[in-house]
Each structure stands twice: as structure tokens, then as C-alpha cells.
Amino acid sequence: MRTLLRGGPRKADLLKTVMALVLIGGLFMESVGSMLPLLFGWAFFTSPLIAMQKGYAPYYWPFACGPIGLIAMIFLPPLKSAENPEDYERLESRANFIGAVLSWIGIFIAMTVFVLLDLFDWLMGLVRLSNSF
């Protein structure tokens, strides 16, 4: 309630909320490894929402390396903190650049993993085929 009276949530409150949601979701998981998709899922949805709340373009942030992008977005200052138009432009371009770079890295890592898994599956098929002769 105190954050609503001050005009918005603080970084620490947002981080606590996200971590609490992840931990609550983790209580219903069978193992720690099955909690990772939950963590990445929350980061996928919360990074653009926090970006939009801070005044940044949310479409740069959905694929921003999951938790890394979420942490980066939490520690970026809001655009309201800019004192003059130059600071506003600088903050906006810096945040959009960080979001775009992290998104491209996240997409590249995901595509690399999919290609490697497909290659591994193909190689295992060759091994099974060669063992059948």
C-alpha cells in the first residue's frame, strides 16, 4: 500500500513480487529443474510490462534473455526521471538498445539450442540405423 501512495512501485518491491510468484509456483513443482520454465515464463511477461510502466517500448523486451532482461529492466531508471529532453532521449535509446540486444541474444540462443537438439536427434537416428545392420 505504501508504494501506491508514493506514485508507483519501487524496484525492490517489483523484484520481491516476481520472486514470490516464482517461489509460490515452485511449491507446486516436482523439482527445481521444472521451475525454470516458470521463471522464464514470468520474465517473458513481466519485462515488457515493467518496460511499459517505465515509459519504454515494450516490444523490445519480450525475448530479452528471460531473467537477465527482467533484472536489467528493473534496474533501468524510469523515463519520468529525465530532467531535460536530452536525458529523456538518452535514457530511451539506451533502454531500447539494451532490450533489443538482449532479445536478439535470447532468440539466437533459442535457435541454436533447437538446431543442436535437432542435430543430436538426427545423429542418434543414424546410430540406431547403423546398429540395426
For 18-28, how does the pLDDT look when each residue is reduced to its tens digit (9 = 90+)? 666 666 655 55
Residue 69's domain spans which residues?
Answer: 2-131
Whether 47 contacts 64, CB under 8 Å:
yes
Mean pLDDT, range 45-51, rounded to an integer: 81
**Residue 61 buriedness (CB in 10 A; 0-12 / 13-18 / 19+):** buried
Mean pLDDT of the chain: 76
Residue 63: pLDDT over 60: yes
pTM of the entire structure?
0.62
The whole-number pLDDT of residue 1 equals 38
Overall number of domains in the chain: 1
